[in-house]
Amino acid sequence: MGNTTSGYDESGHTSGSSSSSRRSSLANNQTATRNARSQTMNINNTVSSRQRRASSVVGSLLTGTSRAGSSFSRNYDFSNNTDMDTTRTGSSREKQVNKENHYRNLVVKYDECVDGGFLAPYGVHDDEKKLDYNDTTVRQLIIGRKLQPFYLPLEDYEENELSDEELLKILRSTLLHQPYPEDIEKFEDLPGVKNLSKAQLEDASNIDSYIDYSSSKSERKLKKSLIFAARLYKLKSIWQQDENERYLDAKNSFSANNMVSNDKLLLDLYRNGDECPICFLYLPKNFNYSRCCYQPICTECFVQIKRKEPHYQNSHDENELTASEDTIETLVSECAHCPYCATPDFGVIYEMSSSITKTGLGSGTLPSEYTVRTEEKIDSSDSLVQNRRRAQSIPANHKSVVTSDMIRPDWEANLSKAKLKLKKRFAKANTIHMNNRLISSDENDKMKLIEDEMIERAIRLSLAEQPQ
């Protein structure tokens, strides 16, 4: 019995030789990520392009800026590189590997089961931008019973309306993940995506063969990243389909020794369910509760709540035109607030229902062998959730609290990145501005000067939006 769960290390990642080949490749990818990172730091493989760049005014000014911004350099371990571009070029593959691993960890796998729920979301909120939480952390927290597992949600549920058989039938026929929309418009006309096998899609090295090399460098880069994104989108749904099939096989196999929850577990969970106040979906009642005002929230909704994008502290319209170099330091990242009572530093506590015994990962029991619904604990004095009903809010740094920042620890890095990006923008705009002044200095034409102002404005705008 212990065999099934021993394939997982504490981090919630698949490990060990008992896994299928797909899984071990996942582990390999993570090693690859680490390797890629160390290489990035040591190898300066774009020296020639750097020199070329440095010959232009803009380029040299920029290099100067990135040196001046040394505090940022240190934050990012760029200190052994003088040119930001070196690192960026080197890290794009690393980024891709990280992203691919992230997407793999967003696939719901039936045998990554914790107390009848899972380690990845069902897809209630299917905006990918908001699934950018740290998947390793969340998986760990779920296995450590610090967050409610991702449960399959029920659309409609009225107590007493369904017989046990009907309820089970619905639960058993629910897919592990909401079906993905087939084709989305933004990926419509991209080459190198349609009619490719899974293996071809997974092999990022063939993307180059779909790129038109007569196009400009930035266009090629854009195209490449678009193809990569489109493939990942498609792969995610293929990976999930594979998992759905594995789940189906496991359900149909008559061996009771597996990670499929048995009837008793499902009934104990879903007969005691409730609606999440955010998504209005019906889930087992062992919700996460806000640390401040003791309101329930399911994990699928919890992971959606995050800091806002960095913005100017004092400006309410964030007009790019009024922004100046001096305002960069006023760029702030505002912490996530409780959706119910607006308390800052949103955090939740989770205590699994005391009447359900632990099963699946991080327990000694297979979900297929769940038998007991333990007696309600008589002494609940150590229960934070119970005590919370009468007591004050629990501080954000309490060991049982999972905050929004904990599952997105990269917010500080993102804020620094945003500031750095702005600094570079202003540096560029200033250079171009100076160049224009030089050109027009011997002309007395007033119109010309006015036009310069307009150009400058336009360029500033252009820089404001340039992809990094």
Q: Which residues bind other proteins (CB under 8 A)?
A: 123-127, 130, 155-156, 178-181, 184-186, 188-189, 277-281, 295, 301, 304-305, 308, 316-321, 337, 339-340, 342, 451, 454-455, 458-459, 461-462, 464-466
Nearer to other proteins, 273 or 367 (CB): 273
Query: 64-100 burial by CB neighbour count: b if 16+ within 10 A, else e?
Result: ebbeebeebbeeeebeebbbbbbbebbbebbebbbeb
Nearer to other proteins, 29 or 241 (CB): 241
Give the distance, in angstroms, between the CA of residue 121 and the centroid of all CA atoms in the same chain.
12
Give the distance, in angstroms, between the CA of residue 362 and the centroid of all CA atoms in the same chain.
24
User: Minimal distance in Å, beta carbon 48 to other proteins?
Assistant: 22
User: Minimal distance in Å, beta carbon 461 to other proteins?
Assistant: 5
Nearer to other proteins, 123 or 284 (CB): 123
| 3-class DSSP state of 212 | coil
Nearer to other proteins, 301 or 394 (CB): 301
Instruction: Determine whether 366 is exposed, middle or buried from the number of CB atoms within 10 Å of its CB (0-12, 13-18, 19+).
Output: buried
Nearer to other proteins, 216 or 252 (CB): 216
Q: Please list, in sequence order, all residues whose beta carbon lies within 8 angstroms of the beta carbon of residue 72, skipping any fewer than 6 positions away.
A: 66, 78, 416, 419, 420
User: Minimal distance in Å, beta carbon 320 to other proteins?
Assistant: 4
User: Minimal distance in Å, beta carbon 437 to other proteins?
Assistant: 13
Instruction: Determine whether 414 is exposed, middle or buried from the number of CB atoms within 10 Å of its CB (0-12, 13-18, 19+).
Output: middle
Q: How far apart are CA 454 and CA 383, in angstroms?
A: 65
User: Minimal distance in Å, beta carbon 465 to other proteins?
Assistant: 3
CA distances from 215 to 52, 188, 330 (A): 20, 20, 39
Partner residues linked to 222 by β-bridges: none
User: Minimal distance in Å, beta carbon 323 to other proteins?
Assistant: 9
User: Minimal distance in Å, beta carbon 304 to other proteins?
Assistant: 5
Q: How far apart are CA 210 and CA 192, in angstroms?
A: 6
